[in-house]
């Protein structure tokens, strides 16, 4: 699109614009059919339409000033109360609605950095997070200048809690556990972490961005899960996303705290600004009313029964998926996932899992890649139950195809991923990714072609494919 078209001289009729808008979506992932295993938590057209109506009713409303839109403040209070109920919070539990999981994670780091500074004078803050913590925690570390100390994984890919105590020092401002962690779907040992956190009087945040609106319902359905919420002494705050398993519209998450004393350190107050006395509870200024309304509407519409039903269907899809993968020779489930997500890798050295991923892509599935160890990822929802068997059949075929032609490991995205995951020069990977990624942000620039770039969520560039090809050729020459 030319710069001229990007802002037409004369406005276009609404119909024409809407038609164009819809046509732009034609090349987007077809999440409606259950072929996408990340990014979107979709149920059906009816629920989507319901969310759209709720969103549209408050699309222009602004939660910036909670005194102005009393409706939005009410939605926020009730959403926080619902989250607190599910998390077994007490009468002191408090919290705010945020724009998503990342904002909730960033806020926890800011809160605990400021708490440690105010109460213990900590000037060079550190936080301890398992290696499997979501990338949002790495971002928070960079943004807020809180040094990351990585808790290693044990042989089962669980956060190795036996190493935790020795990593705590007087600079430690917080410890993190996840329920579940994004890469492999296991719940970190929160009870053991909580006991250590309490002993050292260090806050423990639980990242339940994925699990917050499904684990409680799985438990209600009779599934035995390790404890991860406020029932665990030592847990001081929890993030839980509505726009994932809460099946709300995009732009809604929560962060709750055990008490107001903690939450106060999240808040910002300016008393001397010429624009007036200003108070803000979270990162954003203007806060989107539509997202709050849709999140509140989803909670009201599903209720406990509805969410339990969604959780039951998700658990069934998860169980079928796990046993189907385990029954496929050459594949293994990574770690010990509790649901709703899982990851799998290759069980024998001759089978390249990224090449299997390429075959799955070719069959129309959209699956994320993992590294350390190499793997494929599936964020399973109720929507996947009807397609699990098709997925597993295609997966068996994909494995057979890759076994029959091992050169597939040196082609396509498999080569890129192999290189990115195994190249020891992480700085080279970082600088190539950064330059390609930044380049796609030129005004009017073409969208990043993720297919060509060969990386779903980390956005790696085609340049890396050339680098990968050279790397693979070099390895072959040496072999
Ligand atoms: C465990 C965990 N925390 C945080 C996030 C970040 O959430 P968002 O993408 O809504 O910012 C994710 C996203 O997948 C996640 O899996």
**Helix or strand or coil: residue 195?**
helix
Residues 6+ apart with CB under 8 A from 410: 418, 472, 476
Least confident of 15-19, 342-346, 415-419: 415-419
Residues 6+ apart with CB under 8 A from 81: none
CA 350 to centroid of ligand 1, rounded, Å: 33
Please name the residue that has the structure tokens 């139950």. 385
CA 348 to centroid of ligand 1, rounded, Å: 31
**Helix or strand or coil: residue 327?**
coil
Residue-wise pLDDT tens digits, 210-225: 999 999 999 999 999 9
Tokens read off for 165: 């105590």
Residue-wise pLDDT tens digits, 82-93: 999 999 999 999
Domains of the chain: 56-300 (3.40.640.10), 309-405 (3.90.1150.10), 413-478 (no CATH)
425 pLDDT tier (thresholds 50, 70, 90)? confident
Check residue 460 and give its pLDDT. Answer: 47
CA 403 to centroid of ligand 1, rounded, Å: 34
Residue-wise pLDDT tens digits, 347-379: 998 999 999 999 999 999 999 999 999 999 999
Residues 6+ apart with CB under 8 A from 178: 130, 132, 133, 134, 187, 188, 206, 207, 208, 210
Residue 409 in contact with residue 352, Cβ under 8 Å?
yes
66 pLDDT tier (thresholds 50, 70, 90)? confident
Tokens read off for 440: 């796609």
Residue 227 CA: distances (Å) to CA of 105, 142, 341, 399: 20, 30, 18, 37
pTM of the model: 0.94
Burial of residue 71 (number of CB atoms within 10 Å: 0-12, 13-18, 19+): middle
CB distance 299 to ligand 1 below 6 Å: no
CB distance 210 to ligand 1 below 6 Å: yes
What's the N-to-C CA distance of the chain in angstroms?
47
CA 210 to centroid of ligand 1, rounded, Å: 7
Residue 253 in contact with residue 240, Cβ under 8 Å?
yes
Residue-wise pLDDT tens digits, 96-117: 999 999 999 999 999 999 999 9
- Mean pLDDT, the chain, whole residue set: 93
CA distance 140 to 147: 10
Residue-wise pLDDT tens digits, 131-177: 999 999 999 999 999 999 999 999 999 999 999 999 999 999 999 99
**Helix or strand or coil: residue 400?**
helix
Q: What is the DSSP letter of 265?
A: G
CB distance 134 to ligand 1 below 6 Å: yes
Q: How many helices (H) and strands (E) does the chain have?
A: 17, 13
Residue-wise pLDDT tens digits, 297-312: 999 999 999 999 999 9
Confidence check: pLDDT of 479 > 60: no
CA 104 to centroid of ligand 1, rounded, Å: 9
Mutate to test the pocket of ligand 1, among 97, 136, 291 (most ligand atoms within 8 A of CB): 136
CB distance 178 to ligand 1 below 6 Å: yes
């Amino acid at each position: 699109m030319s710069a001229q078209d990007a802002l037409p001289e004369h406005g276009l009729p609404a119909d024409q614009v809407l038609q164009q808008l819809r046509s732009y979506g034609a090349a987007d992932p077809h999440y409606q059919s259950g072929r996408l295993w990340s990014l979107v938590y979709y149920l059906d057209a009816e629920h989507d339409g319901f969310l759209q109506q709720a969103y549209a009713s408050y699309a222009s409303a602004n939660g910036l000033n909670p005194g102005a839109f009393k409706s939005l403040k009410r939605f926020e209070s009730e959403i926080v109360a619902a989250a607190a109920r599910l998390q077994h919070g007490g009468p002191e539990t408090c919290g705010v609605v945020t724009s998503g999981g990342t904002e909730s994670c960033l806020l926890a780091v800011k809160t605990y950095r400021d708490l440690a500074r105010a109460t213990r004078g900590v000037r060079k803050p550190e936080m301890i997070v398992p290696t499997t913590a979501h990338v949002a925690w790495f971002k928070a570390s960079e943004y807020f200048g809180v040094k990351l100390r990585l808790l290693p994984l044990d042989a089962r890919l669980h956060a190795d809690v036996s190493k935790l105590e020795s990593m705590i020092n007087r600079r430690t401002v917080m410890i993190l556990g996840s329920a579940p962690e994004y890469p492999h779907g296991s719940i970190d040992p929160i009870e053991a972490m909580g006991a250590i956190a309490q002993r050292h009087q260090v806050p423990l945040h639980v990242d339940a961005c994925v699990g917050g609106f499904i684990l409680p319902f799985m438990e209600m359905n009779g599934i035995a899960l390790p404890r991860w919420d406020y029932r665990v002494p030592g847990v001081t705050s929890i993030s839980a996303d509505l726009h994932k398993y809460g099946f709300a519209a995009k732009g809604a998450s929560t962060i709750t705290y055990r008490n107001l004393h903690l939450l106060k350190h999240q808040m910002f107050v300016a008393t001397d600004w010429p624009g007036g006395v200003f108070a803000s509870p979270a990162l954003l200024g203007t806060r989107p009313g539509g997202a709050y309304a849709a999140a509140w509407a989803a909670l009201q519409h599903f209720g406990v029964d509805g969410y339990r039903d969604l959780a039951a269907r998700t658990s069934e899809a998860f169980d079928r998926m796990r046993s189907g993968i385990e029954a496929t020779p050459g594949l293994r489930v990574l770690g010990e996932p509790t649901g709703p997500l899982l990851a799998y890798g290759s069980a024998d050295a001759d089978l390249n899992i990224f090449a299997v991923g390429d075959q799955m892509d070719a069959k129309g599935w959209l699956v994320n890649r993992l590294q350390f160890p190499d793997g494929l990822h599936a964020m399973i929802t109720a929507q996947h139950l009807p397609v699990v068997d098709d997925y597993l059949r295609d997966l068996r075929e994909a494995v057979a195809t890759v076994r029959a032609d091992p050169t597939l490991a040196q082609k396509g995205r498999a080569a890129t991923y192999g290189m990115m995951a195994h190249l020891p020069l992480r700085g080279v990977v970082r600088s190539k990714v950064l330059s390609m990624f930044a380049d796609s942000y030129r005004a009017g620039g073409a969208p990043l072609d993720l297919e060509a770039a060969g990386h779903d969520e980390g956005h790696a560039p085609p340049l890396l494919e050339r680098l990968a090809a050279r790397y693979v050729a070099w390895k072959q020459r040496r072999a």
